[in-house]
Amino acid sequence: MKLLTGLVFCSLVLGVSSRDWFSFLGEAYDGARDMWRAYSDMREANYINSDKYFHARGNYDAAQRGPGGAWAAEVIREDD
């Protein structure tokens, strides 16, 4: 658990080095919301083998938010 927390903290620090903290956190929140929206849409669609499309859509939408969104998409993707 300590290793995971350390890795998350280091990736957060590295991702924020050139940007304002608040904008990074806002982008990360919006990116996580994009991922959640794609997951909800996938559950609602309920089609077999459609998960790859919705995961790709969520990752793309989150990454378009900026470095914070890309970071959130990467962290959430690793949990899948």
% of the chain exceeding 90 in pLDDT: 19
Per-residue pLDDT at 10: 61
The domain limits of the chain are 23-79
Q: Averaged over 11-25, what is the pLDDT?
A: 66
pLDDT band at residue 19, thresholds of 50, 70 and 90?
A: low
Q: What is the pTM of this model?
A: 0.67
User: For residues 38 and 79, what is the distance between their CA atoms, to the nearest angstrom?
Assistant: 15
Going from the C-alpha of 67 to that of each of 2, 47, 58, the distances in angstroms are 24, 31, 15
Per-residue pLDDT at 57: 92
Per-residue pLDDT at 22: 74
Class of domain 23-79: mainly alpha
Per-residue pLDDT at 37: 93
Per-residue pLDDT at 74: 83
